[in-house]
Amino acid sequence: MKLKSTEIVDTFAEAFKMWGARVIITAANRQWARAAAQAMTGFATSVIGCKCEAGIESILSPGQTPDGRPGASVLLFAMDKASVGKRLLERIGQCVMTCPTTACFNGLDGDNAVQVGSQLRYFGDGFQGSKKLAGRRYWRIPVMDGEFVVEESFHVQASVGGGNIIMLGTDEKKTLAAATAATRAMAEIKEVILPFPNGVVRSGSKVGSRYKTLPASTNTAYCPTLKAVTDSSLPPDVNCALEIVVDGLTETAVRDAMTAGIHAAAKPGIRQITAGNYGGNLGQYKINLHELLAD
Amino acid sequence: MPLLLKQIAPPEVPLEADNITPDRITGQTPAGVEKLTVMHGNETRRIGDFFRVTGQYDGVINLQGDHLGRVKFIGARMSRGVIRVDGDVGEHLGAGMSGGAILISGNAADWVGPEMSGGRIEIRGNAGHMTGSAYRGADMGMTGGEIIIHGNARNEVGNAMRNGLIAIAGNSGDFTGVNMLAGSIFVSGELGIRTGAGMKRGSVISLKDAELLPTFDYSCTYQPGYLTLYFRYLTGLGLEIDDERVRGPYKRYCGDSVEMNRGEILLYSG
């Protein structure tokens, strides 16, 4: 299948069941809200090495936040509910509570919840207090600029991680431009994040390694420097490959983001758009690229 | 169609009508409702002796009449549904209620929502003494739910209150939040004297400055983040709060130091 001059490979992205949470961070102004969100989503590119994947879903206007201040919506994903809880506790405690003027709220509804504010409250050394309003409890922890307000529990829901597209280009400049265009288009989709730097990853991985201690290693089939010495998946005139990984609260959101990314990345100089998978043996979701475009 | 209870005869002495609740009326025909009992002094009488009952209960009970101020215990111990009163109501409105809503277009007498644990009472007029309070000798007053008063309230609002929300758009009398254990009381108008006397925890928030007991110590002037959540919520319920008071700042006083000293009184200081 061709999209403009780009071939869309007949393959699928293999995605995984994860658990996700949405965190609404507010602050006195947009800069501080963004600072806290960036800190919280730092070192959260891959669940393999970072224990979670996180990113900024959107920047929020005062009218979109619980306390009427500027804010940011953060999505965080891990492999199970308990892990989401642990990561939220660490990251809200170390990255949001520490940031001047911030407050932190749950951004999801549902039946599954993890305790965050009820754990962080102990930082208050006995001077913490809580307020219950409309069925939701908020903890007030005294800090040096006043109080940190954090919701007691955060809802988590079954989510989808590891959706992806891989752009194969004739050179670095064109591939980078296509990846940038794709991430911009994908960022418009709600309920997804792109956890890698600016949404793009160059060090795609395969399962396993010749070194026994490593669970994953570089994706040799897509490394242009190894075309001559490996079973390469790259066409002869491709000299650069970049991947975009997408995690979402729903499979639909992940599919929508991938579709938007493919359309935006199909440009002159991009020979193929493909996707990463493990033969369909590991992930619970197979997202076929041709089906996305047919939809 | 709501169930309509229209008052046909004024009681000589106040009626105790704790059967007028959705819990007792659900599944009853109008004739069945008229047979439910009320206490008229030391006599057991029937609702039908004082009200004509028409319509069908669809989740709402509507009371109409010129002498409803002499009817006590309306909505006592209710857990669901809505009671809408066109006019005033007597004492002990919603006593011990755990859910549902009571909407009063006029004034309420003393003891609004004593020891309630859930639900909402909204009064468009004024309320008497002891709103959301503990009964005399009891350890705890209101333990949950909301009381919204669009007018004024008299003394001892939230006496021994343990949780929940009371918001008063007008003035509040003396001893607001006396012996308070937790929860939140918002007062838009003037506070009476001795606010928070004996309080252990909880918050009294005044949108005006006030004179406090010497057992409350000033901590700081700041913008409490959680207040915005409440102000947005209360605005949604129809209370008017101007933007300046939403943004603060507020002076924080801690007390009562004759008790645990973990309560707070926030006074707007714009």
Domain count for chain B: 1
Q: For residue A160, what are the β-bridge partners?
A: A17, A248
Interface test with B, best of A29, A67, A102, A139 (most B CBs within 10 A): A67
Cα-Cα-Cα-Cα torsion B17, B23, B28, B29, nearest 10 degrees, comes to 60
Q: Residue B265: helix, strand or coil by DSSP?
A: strand
Report the gap between the CA of A83 and the closest CA in chain B (Å).
28
* Least confident among A275-289, B99-113, B114-128: A275-289
DSSP label at A64? G
Contacts of A148 in chain B (CB under 8 A): 225
Provide CATH code, domain A19-157.
3.30.70.520
Report the gap between the CA of A64 and the closest CA in chain B (Å).
12
Mean pLDDT of B7-28: 95
Q: Residue B24: helix, strand or coil by DSSP?
A: helix
Report whether B57 contacts B3 (CB < 8 A). yes
Q: What are phi and psi of B71, to 5 degrees?
A: -115, 120
Q: Which domain holds residue B235?
A: 110-268
| CA nearest to A105, candidates A92, A95, A94, A87 | A92
For residue B97, how far is the Cα from the chain centroid?
A: 11
Dist. CA B69–CA B87, nearest whole Å: 8
Using CB atoms, which residue from B201, B220, B230 is nearest to A133? B230
Second CATH level (architecture) for the domain A2-14+158-294: 2-Layer Sandwich (3.30)
Other Cβ atoms closer than 10 A to A127: 12
| CA nearest to B181, candidates B169, B168, B164, B167 | B164
Contact A133 B262 (CB under 8 A): no
Dist. CA A21–CA A106, nearest whole Å: 8
Look at strands B146-149 and B165-168 and give their pairing.
parallel
Report the predicted TM-score, pTM, of the whole model to 2 decimal places.
0.94
Band the pLDDT of B239: cuts 50, 70, 90.
very high
Interface test with A, best of B185, B228, B231, B265 (most A CBs within 10 A): B228
DSSP string of A67-117?
TSS-EEEEEEEESSHHHHHHHHHHHIIIIITTSTT-EEEE---SS-EEESH
Query: Tokens for B142?
Result: 């209101």
Look at strands B165-168 and B184-187 and give their pairing.
parallel
Mean pLDDT of B206-217: 97
**Closest chain A residue to B231 measured between Cα atoms?**
A67
Band the pLDDT of B9: cuts 50, 70, 90.
confident
H-helix or E-strand spanning residue B205: strand B203-206
Report whether B241 contacts B248 (CB < 8 A). no
Q: Helix-strand-coil percent breakdown of chain B, rounded to 5?
A: 10, 30, 60
Report the gap between the CA of B226 and the closest CA in chain A (Å).
7
Mean pLDDT of B55-76: 97
Report the gap between the CA of B36 and the closest CA in chain A (Å).
34
Contacts of B243 in chain A (CB under 8 A): none
A132 touches chain B (CB under 8 A): yes
Give the pLDDT of residue A282: 85
Mean pLDDT of B143-170: 98
pLDDT at B164 over 80: yes
Mean pLDDT of B166-170: 98
Question: ipTM of the assembly?
Answer: 0.93
Dist. CA B195–CA A175, nearest whole Å: 68
pLDDT in tens, chain A (295 residues): 999 999 999 999 999 999 999 999 999 999 999 999 999 999 999 998 999 999 999 999 999 999 999 999 999 999 999 999 999 999 999 999 999 999 999 999 999 999 999 999 999 999 999 999 999 999 999 999 999 999 999 999 999 999 999 999 999 999 999 999 999 999 999 999 999 999 999 999 998 999 999 988 999 999 999 999 999 999 999 999 999 999 999 999 999 999 999 999 999 999 999 999 988 888 999 999 999 999 7
Report whether B23 contacts B100 (CB < 8 A). no
DSSP string of A124-159?
GTT--EEEEETTEEEEEEEETTEEEEEESEEEEEEE
Using a pLDDT cut of 90, give the percent of chain B over it. Answer: 98
Using CB atoms, which residue from B165, B225, B262 is nearest to A133? B165
**Closest chain A residue to B183 measured between Cα atoms?**
A131
Confirm whether B245 is domain-assigned.
Answer: yes
Q: Return the domain boundaries, chain A.
A: 2-14+158-294, 19-157
Dist. CA B113–CA B103, nearest whole Å: 12
Number of Cα atoms under 13 Å in the Cβ half of residue B58: 6
| CA nearest to B230, candidates B210, B218, B219, B245 | B245
Mean pLDDT of B68-90: 98
Report whether A162 contacts A247 (CB < 8 A). yes
Dist. CA A71–CA A103, nearest whole Å: 9
Q: What is the pLDDT of residues A74-127, one digit of tens each?
A: 999 999 999 999 999 999 999 999 999 999 999 999 999 999 999 999 999 999
Confirm whether B83 is domain-assigned.
Answer: no
**Closest chain A residue to B260 measured between Cα atoms?**
A127
